[in-house]
Structure 1
Amino acid sequence: MDTSFAIDLDAERREVQYPDGIPVKFGGEQFIFPAELPAEALDPILSDDLGLVELLGEVIESSDGDAGIGEVVTALFRRPTLPRKFLAAIRETYGILLGDQHEGFVKKRPSIGDYVRLTTGLVRVYGVELGKLFRSADSSASDSQTSSPTSPASTESTPDVSGFVPDNPDSSESAD
């Protein structure tokens, strides 16, 4: 029986591409991140204590959706403990992702730049965009009778399989 599903959670996932996890080279060592981003890894970043979601909502509201650096800085100054809490949330997130490897990772003394580069790379591999988490559900919905889904053949960037991550020519360095 050939049934078509709108969402197929049994489709090929990142575990197929990275069955042993995502290898990351840092400080001469290899660290293995989970093949799929565990939902719990976002808990520290989205916690009520951190208040990042509230901050983003405030920035977007104050700028009618066209936020600039000024609005972000103003909102940050209203929360002087946020930078320290945010860094703690990032460390906690990496603790969740790395598990037993986290202590060895921290001993390598990652810089802010290391965290930014690593996070950017992982976002690309995981295919997660935090901005989409905060976007209103109405902003992408359409009640139009004339709209139709974009054909997968209309763009080369559309993955053929759920979880597909195209090769990145910029990251040709392999993990040893």
Structure 2
Amino acid sequence: MSYVIDLDAERREVQYPDGIPVKFNGDQYIFPAELPADALDPILSEDLDLVGLLGEVIDSTDGDAGVAEVIAALFRRPSLPRKFLAAIRATYAILLGEQHTQFLEKRPSIGDYVRLTTGLTRVYGVELGKLFRLGASSESDSPTSSPTSPDSTGSTPAESGSVPASPDSSESDG
């Protein structure tokens, strides 16, 4: 039988069968090979309400928000920075499990969290803005229309940062 969606197909565990190793302050931490869905719960919590904050900023500026509008919205929510930091710590507690206490003992800085989150985002292949998107922008629900472009092309590199192979210009035949 052929499956349209095969959740048993090759996953990141094949590339990182023992998890994703991360070096920090001389110690190694192992993150799960696949991002657990519940790891995003603290960031997406109703208590933190980041989605509400973004909606407020976008509504107040007709979608043309700048730094000043974001800062103004943050000042209207003075407890947000502490809640956000707590959500980040809770997310890392989920990801690190028993290793989390040892990780916190190393006193990670805000920059450490930013670099680690950026690196893990690349490895996991997750962008929060795209995470909950239902479909590509070129798709249509109309029965009479067709996509303007495919969702992916054969020229897309398999790994982030890699470049598709192409012949050198000096290798031309004539």
The two structures share one fold, judged by TM-score above 0.5: yes
**What is the aligned counterpart of 2:46 among 45, 48, 51?**
48
- Cα–Cα, structure 1 residues 62 and 134, in superposed 2: closer, same or farther, change >3 Å? farther
- Cα–Cα, structure 1 residues 80 and 95, in superposed 2: closer, same or farther, change >3 Å? same
Distance 2:53 2:131 in 1: 14
The corresponding residue for 2:170 is none
Distance 2:23 2:125 in 1: 20
The corresponding residue for 1:69 is 67
- The offset of 1:106, in angstroms, is 0.4
Counting only pairs closer than 5 Å after superposition, residues 1-176 of structure 1 correspond to structure 2 as: 1=1, 3=2, 5=4, 7-133=5-131, 137=134, 140=137, 141-143=139-141, 145-147=145-147, 148-153=149-154, 155-157=155-157, 159=158, 166=159
Distance 2:152 2:110 in 1: 40
The corresponding residue for 2:171 is none
Question: 2:20 touches 2:31 (CA, 8 Å); kept in 1?
Answer: yes
- SS at 2:42 equivalent: helix
The two structures have a TM-score, normalised by structure 2, of: 0.81
Distance 1:4 1:62 in 2: 46
- The offset of 1:82, in angstroms, is 0.1
Count of residue pairs the alignment pairs up: 158
After superposing on structure 2, the runs of 4+ consecutive aligned residues of structure 1 that deviate more than 4 Å are none
**How large is the RMSD of aligned CA atoms in angstroms?**
2.2
Distance 1:101 1:168 in 2: 30
- Cα–Cα, structure 1 residues 65 and 167, in superposed 2: closer, same or farther, change >3 Å? closer
Distance 1:9 1:52 in 2: 30
Offset from partner CA, 1:10-66 (integer Å, 9 cap, x none): 221100000100000000000000000001110101111111111111122222333
Question: 1:31 touches 1:101 (CA, 8 Å); kept in 2?
Answer: yes
Highest CA radius of gyration, 1 or 2? 2
Distance 2:65 2:76 in 1: 16
Distance 1:58 1:133 in 2: 21
List alignment gaps of at least 5 residues for structure 2: 163-174
List alignment gaps of at least 5 residues for structure 1: 160-165, 170-176
Question: 1:53 touches 1:134 (CA, 8 Å); kept in 2?
Answer: no
